[in-house]
Chain A
Amino acid sequence: MASAPTANGGSSLAEYDLILKLAQHLDRHMIFPLLEFSAGQLVDEESGEIKDEAKAREITQSKFSLLKKTNMTDYVANLYCELEGLKEPPTEFADRRQKVFGQLEKYEQETSKIIELLERDDVVNNLRSDKVANLEFLKRDHDVTIEMVNALFDFGNLQYSCGNYADASEMLYRFRVLSTDNDKVSYATWGRLACEILTMNWESALEEIQKVRELIDSKLAQNPLAQLEHRTALLHWALFPLFNFEKAREPILDLFFNAGYINTIQASCPWVLRYLAVAVITNRSRAKNPGMHQKQMKDVVRIVKQEAYEYQDPITRFVHALCIDFDFEEAQRQLVLAEEVLRSDFFLLAHADDFVESARHLIFESYCKIHARISLKDLSARLGLSAEAAEKWIVNLIRDTRLDAKIDYKEGTVVMNHPPSSVYQQVIEKTKGGFFRTQVLTAAIAK
């Protein structure tokens, strides 16, 4: 669908561009922002000039072929003009436009009655949670036929295709309330998710994600292949809220770390690991539950290790170097590369600084864990900071994290103090919960 961003010269970034891989699992409407973004990247920030004509043209071309099949006729016509250098779009676009309008009108008529009904309070108040009964009720009292309900679905579909995401979402919502057709309901749920994402309505997008997830788990349990495909799609779609909506992070990370989805990432789309790794690393400071974060980090490390043969990019290599090989120099090198990659990624652009900061933190943390004495000079090199800035940074860090470390200024070193965990403490830790758990047990037995 979208043409490949050409690897001009030895551009290392192009090699890590995931747009092609992502596009396979996204809806065409969702690919569009990605293409916009790549086009935006080509524009020189100061002069506003386009750096690479050929490539820009290519992107426009792919935009055109992307949207050709949709019903956003006006925009497509414009794109066509731009591509061919025409002033007036050919008449075929006008024809299509007419046709689309005709269809819209037709559906509008077909659905007007049911929409009207659904807006009436007396009708809505009579609806119950039982869909079959609802339909019966509407059939009996208001002459609603199943065709009318299905028309809602088609109308929603058409709206979506025309780019009226908000309306489409509304239609599909109504359809879902009434329809008993399981397949169509699941389509509608997907459709709504797409609409919410495209209208950046993250809260409801989250809800839809949850719904889709349930659908996948329940309906497709018998069909592992379809389940895999659906999960892959969901993972990709969920990237939008994951990086754009702060509150979505926890639940979506939860989703990603669910066994079934981790498995999906490993089986069919290892490139999602990049996003997962970035999300987890940057989540460090935000995580309410440090234990949770540690566990997620461990999971990420494990998967990165397992998938190293299949997928690698600077971000995963950074994780690999830091947490598996303990090669701090390599980690530092990869971090520099990773920053570049992040800055050219649609989803991660906004998180680049955050990531670099958190990554430094991570390096320092594991460095301190292993070393008893570190030379400041060396450390500043590792963190990619000047000696003075590094010192400041470390002081801040020591203060923030309450690390047991001191700076020996004369020697120019940081001295760590690793208190050995006492055996007594360990025994206490291990037996702490015992009493409570036993109590719960007895209570449960007594019940």
Chain B
Amino acid sequence: MSRFFHGGGDSSSESSSDEEELYSTSDEEEQAEEQESSEEGEKEDSSDDEAGPAKKGLSRFLLDQASSESEGESDVEATAKVKSAKDKRFDELDATITIIQNGQKINDWGSIANEFDKLNRQVAKLQDGGKAPKAYIKCITQLEDFLNESLAKQKVTPKKMNATNARGLNAVKQKIKKNNKDYQAQIDLFRKDSDAFMESDDEEVPPPPPAKVKLQMPTEEAGEDEDKGFARVDKRGKAIPFSPESIQKHLRAILESRGRKNTDRQEQIKIMEELNKVAATPYLKIRVLQTLVSARFDLGSGTTNVMPVEHWKAAERELAALLELLEANKDHVVLENVEEWDDDDKVPVLGPDDKYIKVAGSVVSYIERLDDELTRSLQAIDPHTSEYIERLTDETSLYNIILQGLLYYETIRKDASLEVPQESLNRVIQRRLDHIYFKPAQVVKILEENSWKNVTSGIDSETTPRALSGDAGQLIHVLCNYLFEHSEGIIRARAMLCQIYFLALHDDYYKARDMMLTSHLQENIANFDVATQILYNRTLVQVGLCAFRKGLVYDAQNTLQDICGSGRQKELLAQGVMMQRYNQVSPEQERLEKQRQLPFHMHINLELLECVYLTCSMLLEIPLLAQTGSSPDIKKRVISKTYRRMLEYHERQIFTGPPENTRDHVMQASKALAAGEWKKATHFIHSIKIWELMPGAEDIKTMLAKQIQEEGLRTYLFTYAPFYDTLAVETLSTMFELESPKVSAVISKMISHEELAAALDQVTETVIFRKGVELSRLQSLALTLSDKASALIETNERTLELRTQGSANAFSRKDGRGGGQRGGGQRGGRGGARGGAHHGQRQAGGTQFTGGALGAAVRG
């Protein structure tokens, strides 16, 4: 049986060599088709309608001309190899089919069974785009008929078959049923009109390359009227009857081809779009929509490619349609824990006892996937283009879907008999939270209002009533509380972090801090996944920024220390990949890291962050530097290593130009502050542009000016105390433009904390500096030595305690140890951590969040 045995009659004018050439080119194109499936798929789709077959016939003809005329001999030769390989397979197929036919004649089921297996293997190699060779279809159809015949015969005649035969028969019987299902469409076609089917075979084989059609259509008129034979031809979809009855079969076929190679997803989507139009009952509609949405998601699968935008939008629409459908048909539910409906020929109907028709599937997974795909697409788009903004508008529609999904789950959860897992609802709520937690209240309000507009007015959510949408803070609170109560593990931790983030963003510092401390997250954040750790870092930063806005410099610095002190802000906040890392990262790791990146609109401004951090460090470090002066234990107390390093670098410069960037500004301000020129320092800090990005920039500037005044006073006192005997409070007050009670208070504080060896004289309103307090070099060295000696003893004791597992409690001296241990932990953490997977490890070292005793107590 030649592949072209019918074709010969059709185009008699062409020589056999031409035939071969035709075949080879078509073959080549088939391969090309596989490669660029998407482009061609669409092309074909568009030409698939009524005019399709005719055009195809024509173009095929044109193509022949083109390939034989314009393309030279070399082309033919180049494809010759391909031709023979493929042809050989066809020959083999033919041979197998002949054996089967022979087997049928002599009723030899044993050999039929063997050959049938072989046949299927061969066909798998020959399939193109889900289509099997016609000869194969013919064969299996005949075989099936024969099988049914012999089965019927066997029932009538009690004559026994021999063992091999019986076994073969059974094997074929089982296999053929399953197998033929895959080709049901083609088989039906064949049964209808076997001749036409086999004929169509030839026409169908060479699909035209669309590019060439375009090129040559205008030049070559359709001179010969294409004969009717082509018009009859059916291509893929069209001939397959899209009837409601066959929907389930189609779906099954599509589902089964899912994930296989060589499946044309575009084509399948096309089919399903058609099916969706045909589907009459809600059940079928739901099924089609489900499969359709999944198929669309498959387009974006794989690690690198992003789901096409139009498909995302279509999926979004279809998901919305699905949710609406479920909303309208309350007796249909989509659930995860339902068994698949196996019978393709029937549609499940509502039994008298059943309340619902259950469809297997997971709405929440669709929603999550849709969300993820949007994120991925945002990651891929350059954030500084209008495209990004355009894409971002899709978030609104996504949010609608999430809200509707939430409503859907709330409805079905009302019925206990459905056993909807709590987890699904949690996941939807978590997604919703993920979309609002980092946004300012006004934005959330608008988002909420818009999405509620899309919900029918009668419906309301139980967890988050419509009335709540106006108050973003309340909304977040309710959502988070719901998750606290109903979830655990990561979702719970994330909910907590989201709430803290939101509180911090809205200047509710104390609440945010308390929640952060009571959450106990800083201890076990290392056990969570990287995404949660990133969220933790973001939250931490946000709390730090909030503290800064409140004027709590110490707290802000302490909180930001972990992230900013590391010099890896970008990585820790997932806002960029670190560049130089000694090539230790495998491509795999790098890819993972890229995937983790947050979309741009969620970013925290790193420059602002750095600016805040450095400013805080300056306010703490400069007085400290002045205080420690030249004493030998200068190295002991370092608040921020990063800042110190920068300061040193800055001081090493021989010429310093006017400040250009944020860092320069802060460094020059530091220098001025150290010299007691607080006005200059204030000027430098105020001229940093980035403050404008903070809400209430003016207040922050005033706050900073005040802080600089005070710290300037302290620095001044530390630096110049040795040169004074007495100093009038009044003088200081005019010098730093502070009120004299304030000056007295600052001095009192310093005296009381024994930072300054002085006393106030109330009568004359002066500060009297005590003399003879400055230590000589020898004295300070002696002090250091004694400190070190006691530290040594302490370490020894601790070591022993460790060895004896705490039984030697005699040594427990709890107080005053915290500092040392803490520092050690931090250092260890910084040294040990490398690579993205180690985020948490570093965190563990830095648990001294906001310093206070509360932190220590909570940990304890």
A-to-B contact residues, CB < 8 Å: 224, 259-260, 262-263, 266-267, 299, 302-303, 306, 309-310, 325-327, 366, 369-375, 378, 411, 413, 416, 418, 420, 423, 426-427, 430-431, 433-434, 437-438, 440-441, 444-445
Contact = CB atoms under 8 A, between A and B. Distances in A.
A440 B856 contact: no
A105 B768 CA distance: 80
Nearest to B792: A434
B760 interface: yes
19 contacts: A259-B856, A263-B854, A303-B853, A326-B749, A327-B745, A371-B759, A372-B768, A373-B761, A374-B763, A423-B775, A423-B783, A426-B783, A426-B786, A427-B782, A430-B783, A430-B790, A433-B790, A440-B810, A444-B808
Interface of B: 510, 514, 518, 520, 741, 744-745, 747-749, 751-752, 757, 759-764, 768, 770, 772-773, 775, 779, 782-783, 786-787, 789-790, 793, 796-797, 800, 804, 808, 810-811, 852-854, 856-858, 860
A351 B363 CA distance: 66
Nearest to A224: B520
Contacts of A371: 759-762
Contacts of B857: 259-260, 262-263, 266
B856 A423 contact: no
A423 B773 CA distance: 9
Nearest to B773: A420
A327 B741 contact: yes
Chain A CB count within 10 A is highest, among B747, B782, B856, for B782
Would you list the 3 A-B pairs with minimal beta carbon distance, nearest first?
A: A372-B759, A326-B748, A263-B857
B280 to A, nearest CB: 54
A311 to B, nearest CB: 11
Contact of A441 (B744, B796, B856): B796
B752 A326 contact: yes
Interface residue SS majority, chain B: helix
A309 B783 contact: no
Contact of B763 (A327, A373, A444): A373
B793 A434 contact: yes
B9 to A, nearest CB: 85
Nearest to B803: A445
B858 A263 contact: yes
Contacts, number: 108
Given A309-B510, A326-B749, A420-B757, A441 B790 contact: no
Given A441-B797, A444-B810, 16 more contacts: A259-B860, A266-B854, A302-B853, A306-B852, A326-B752, A370-B751, A372-B759, A372-B768, A373-B762, A373-B763, A373-B764, A375-B763, A418-B770, A427-B783, A434-B790, A441-B811
B476 to A, nearest CB: 21
Contact of B797 (A259, A366, A437): A437
A437 B810 CA distance: 10
Contact of B759 (A375, A416, A431): A416
Contacts of B856: 259
A440 B520 CA distance: 38
Contact of A430 (B752, B787, B797, B858): B787
B832 to A, nearest CB: 29
A416 B763 CA distance: 13
Contacts of A302: 852-853
Given A267-B518, A411-B763, A438-B793, A420 B772 contact: yes
B848 to A, nearest CB: 15
B707 to A, nearest CB: 16
Given A370-B759, A437-B797, A431 B790 contact: yes
Nearest to A429: B786
Given A260-B860, A262-B853, A438-B793, A431 B762 contact: no
A413 B763 contact: yes
Contacts of B789: 430-431, 434
A374 B761 CA distance: 7
A441 B763 CA distance: 54
B782 A423 contact: yes
A4 B246 CA distance: 73
Nearest to B850: A306
A378 B744 CA distance: 15
Contacts of A426: 783, 786
B417 to A, nearest CB: 32
A423 B510 contact: no
B752 A366 contact: yes
Given A259-B860, A423-B775, A441-B797, A378 B762 contact: yes
Nearest to B856: A259
B795 to A, nearest CB: 11
A306 B854 contact: yes
A366 B745 CA distance: 12
Nearest to B804: A444
Contacts of B808: 444
A304 to B, nearest CB: 12
A370 to B, nearest CB: 5
Contacts of A441: 793, 796-797, 800, 811
B768 A267 contact: no
Contacts of B800: 441, 444-445
A370 B760 contact: yes
A427 B779 CA distance: 9
A306 B764 CA distance: 35
Contacts of B749: 325-326
A299 B853 CA distance: 9
Nearest to A305: B852
A15 B640 CA distance: 44
A263 B520 CA distance: 13
Given A262-B857, A420-B772, A420-B773, A430 B759 contact: no
A309 B509 CA distance: 10
A263 B786 CA distance: 35
Contacts of A309: 510
Given A326-B752, A366-B752, A373-B761, A423 B860 contact: no
A434 B787 CA distance: 11
Contacts of A413: 762-763
B554 to A, nearest CB: 11
Contacts of B811: 437, 440-441
Contacts of B854: 263, 266, 306
Contacts of A430: 783, 786-787, 789-790
B510 A310 contact: yes
A325 B710 CA distance: 13
Nearest to A445: B800
A437 B854 CA distance: 32
B429 to A, nearest CB: 21
B443 to A, nearest CB: 28
B751 A369 contact: yes
Contacts of A224: 520
A53 B747 CA distance: 53
B760 A372 contact: yes
Contacts of B787: 430
A434 B786 CA distance: 10
B752 A369 contact: yes
Contacts of A444: 800, 804, 808, 810
A427 B797 contact: no
A367 to B, nearest CB: 9
A228 to B, nearest CB: 9
A224 B859 CA distance: 12
A281 B520 CA distance: 33
Contacts of A266: 854, 857
A377 to B, nearest CB: 10
A266 B779 CA distance: 43
A88 B759 CA distance: 74
A369 B750 CA distance: 11
Contacts of A423: 775, 779, 782-783
A420 B852 CA distance: 31
B853 A306 contact: yes
A250 B292 CA distance: 74
Nearest to A426: B783
Contact of A370 (B520, B752, B773, B797): B752
